Structure 1
Amino acid sequence: MKITRIEAIPYAIPYLKPLKFASGAVHVAEHILVRVHGEDGLYGEAEAPPRPFTYGETQAGIKAVIEGIFAPQITGLNVLEREKIQARINRTVGNPCAKGALDIALWDLAGKLLNQQATTLLGGYTDRLRVSHMIGFDDPAKMVDVAQSFVEQYGITTFKVKVGRTPFQLDVAVCRALRAHFGDKVDLYIDGNRGWSASDSARALRAMEDLDLLFAEELNPADDVMGRRWLVKQAKIPFFADESVSRPAEVVRELLDGSATAISIKTARTGFTQSQRVLFLSESLGVENYIGNQIDGQLGTMASLVFGSAYQATSGRAAELSNFLDMSDDLLTEPLQIAGGEMVIRPGAGLGVTVDEDKLSRYRLGR
């Protein structure tokens, strides 16, 4: 089946409350719906969430690069010519979320063409993942209340705690409050979004040594090369690279430089094809992964679930699949569900979800 047309549709859905972290804050989901059309009326879909404070991409920029550069390069190719498609779009540097969404939409279309679930085409290891929830900045008592509500309503027992504020003692207090409230009934890990210096990160980790944290993520900038190596070398828990590994080559760099001991995979920035390469590289080196979240909507969240459930290596840890619950609405005809702390793959070809055209029309920007 040949690719006949590609759309990049901007839309905006407000969050129920701002999500705050060290590198910025998100008030509205200003995302792009990517549609790759094939012959016989079939099309695949994916979600591109711009994060200008992380990758430099904007909503307008993603639309422009997909429609103005990538679409002319790959229209007319067979949807299954994955390597040829990757070679053409990778002539353009950067633009990870634009490339990631385009790739996922192609996998969705391939699944529909072959009448197979995308997760089966990828690997088909399991049909579900445990869910981790990300808690944004607030005072300790409010962050404890948020976690308690997710335990009670959804059965979630793993939480990413956003840290990186100055002074760092406030974030230490949050982690202590969470551990004091839940005891050993929940798992906690921290994400600094590059907000601390290497020295403050080291002090914060020492201050939390008794809290049994699973791991730490991007506490200080990877560009602080010597400081990051110094910090990771002394860390007593795994140190995950996240925004510093937007492509496989950066994974190699971070691991060989001693700037990380484990790697976060986000399908929003590496799609399925490049995420496979990150995963297989990590497996061959004995490096752990987990499935992260780019504050995705439900379409992006399903992509994360589809990829993470496809492989044994990514199904061992809880995946970040719940932040769509912070949005005031979404685009899918059937909203995703979390029960007993898990999310389950949907039946149906491709990603197994359908966009509600009325909702897309309501939230669409421009025409």
Structure 2
Amino acid sequence: MNITRIEAIPYAIPYTHPLRFASGEVHTADHVLVRVHTDEGVVGVADAPPRPYTYGETQRSIVEVITGLFAPQVVGFGILDRERIHAVLGRTIHNQVAKGALDIALWDAIGKSLGQPVHRLLGGYGDHLRVSHMLGFRPAQELLAEAQRFGAEYGITTFKLKVGRRPLALDIEACHVLREGLGDEAELYLDANRGWTANEAWEVLRATDGLGLTLLEEPCDAHEAMSRRRLVEKSPIPVVGDESVPTAGDASRELLSGGCNAICIKTARSGFTEAREILGLCTGLGVDVTMGNQIDTQVGTLATVAFGAAHEATGRRAGELSNFLDMADDLLAEPISIVDGRVSVRDAPGVGAEIDEEKLARYRQDR
């Protein structure tokens, strides 16, 4: 079964409210739907979410690199020729989101051609992933109200607090208010999105000692190599690499140099193939992994669930799966449900992301 055509369709869906964090804010999901067509009518689907303020990729750059560079080189390959395809993509550095979407679309096409769900092809360990909900920059009492609402409505008990603000007292207060309001049964962890220095991060850790925080993600820029290593050595909780580890090579460098001692895997920027390489590094070195979110739509969320549920190590922790609830609409024909704090895999060939063509026609930006 050979690839005959690759589509990269830009579309835009607004958020119900601005999403704010240390590295920027977004008001609209300006994403790209990627479709890999084959000569037997099978079509693999994936979503590419640009994060221009983090990785430099934009909606326009993803469309251009896929249609203008990757597609002419990849069309004609068989969908099982993944290593050959990745060798072609690897000649171009960076562009991780564009490459990741192509990889997921290939896996989706492979699953559909074999009549098998992708989570089984990847490993088949479980059939669901627990949900972690991200809390953005808001006053502490508003964050608590949101967490309590998501706990009551969706059964979510794990929350990732976006921090990295100045003054530090804003984030320290939020940690205390959330712990007091949610009780000891809720899991809380932090993501500073490189918003602090290493010394500021250490000050926050001291001020929140005893609150039972479980992880500290990207506290400062990884280029602060020496100070960050000292922070990792002193921190009572794992320091998670995220933006600093988009590739397997980056993950190995940061883990071996002491820049972090846990890794956030995002299928949106690594696809499934490189995500497996990163996971292998982590399990081999005995470090924790989390399944992250790149402000994913429901299409992207299903990909995260498929990978996370497929492996024991990624299934241990709650995955960041609820950002789609902040969107005014979505392209998925059958919406995702969060039940008892978890999202189940789709028991359908491929990833299970069936697109609503009417909605795609409504939100696409190229017509």
Matched, 1:97 2:93: no
2:34 aligns with 34
Matched, 1:189 2:189: yes
1:6 aligns with 6
1:318-357 aligned at under 5 Å gives the runs 318-357=318-357
Q: 1: CA distance between counterparts of 2:293 and 2:172? A: 23
Alignment RMSD (CA, Å):
0.6
* One-letter amino acid matched to 1:223: H
- TM-score, with structure 1 as normaliser: 0.99
1:209 aligns with 209
1:122 aligns with 122
* One-letter amino acid matched to 1:303: A
1:108-119 aligned at under 5 Å gives the runs 108-119=108-119
Matched, 1:283 2:291: no
Q: 1: CA distance between counterparts of 2:42 and 2:215? A: 42
Q: 2: CA distance between counterparts of 1:284 and 1:346? A: 29
* Structure 1 residues not aligned, in runs of 5+: none
* Structure 2 residues not aligned, in runs of 5+: none
Q: 2: CA distance between counterparts of 1:282 and 1:333? A: 35
1:141 aligns with 141
Q: 2: CA distance between counterparts of 1:314 and 1:272? A: 13
2:177 aligns with 177
1:281-320 aligned at under 5 Å gives the runs 281-320=281-320
Runs of 4+ displaced beyond 2 Å: none
Alpha-carbon deviation of 1:287? 1.3
Query: Which deviations, in whole Å up to 9, do the C-alpha atoms of 1:202-249 show, x marking residues without a partner?
Result: 000111111100110001000111111111111010111001001000
Query: Which deviations, in whole Å up to 9, do the C-alpha atoms of 1:52-111 show, x marking residues without a partner?
Result: 111000000000000011101111001011111111101000001000001000000000
Q: 1: CA distance between counterparts of 2:242 and 2:348? A: 31
Query: Which deviations, in whole Å up to 9, do the C-alpha atoms of 1:247-285 show, x marking residues without a partner?
Result: 000001101110100101000000000000000111111
1:80 aligns with 80
Identity %: 55
2:240 touches 2:261 (CA, 8 Å); kept in 1? Answer: yes
Q: 2: CA distance between counterparts of 1:209 and 1:260? A: 20
Alpha-carbon deviation of 1:185? 2.2
* One-letter amino acid matched to 2:212: D
Q: 2: CA distance between counterparts of 1:366 and 1:69? A: 19
Q: 2: CA distance between counterparts of 1:10 and 1:113? A: 26
* One-letter amino acid matched to 2:184: D
- TM-score, with structure 2 as normaliser: 0.99
* One-letter amino acid matched to 1:227: S
Q: 2: CA distance between counterparts of 1:53 and 1:360? A: 26
Q: 2: CA distance between counterparts of 1:257 and 1:221? A: 15
Aligned length: 367
DSSP 3-state at the match of 1:221: coil
* One-letter amino acid matched to 2:350: G
2:241 aligns with 241
DSSP 3-state at the match of 1:253: helix
* One-letter amino acid matched to 1:139: P
Which stretch of structure 1 is more off in the superposition, 152-161 or 345-354?
Answer: 345-354
* One-letter amino acid matched to 1:228: R
Q: 1: CA distance between counterparts of 2:18 and 2:315? A: 30
Q: 1: CA distance between counterparts of 2:235 and 2:125? A: 32
2:107 aligns with 107
Q: 2: CA distance between counterparts of 1:124 and 1:284? A: 20
2:301 touches 2:321 (CA, 8 Å); kept in 1? Answer: yes
Query: Which deviations, in whole Å up to 9, do the C-alpha atoms of 1:341-365 show, x marking residues without a partner?
Result: 0111112100112000000000000
Q: 1: CA distance between counterparts of 2:128 and 2:212? A: 26
* One-letter amino acid matched to 2:98: A
1:53 aligns with 53
* One-letter amino acid matched to 1:282: C
2:45 touches 2:353 (CA, 8 Å); kept in 1? Answer: no
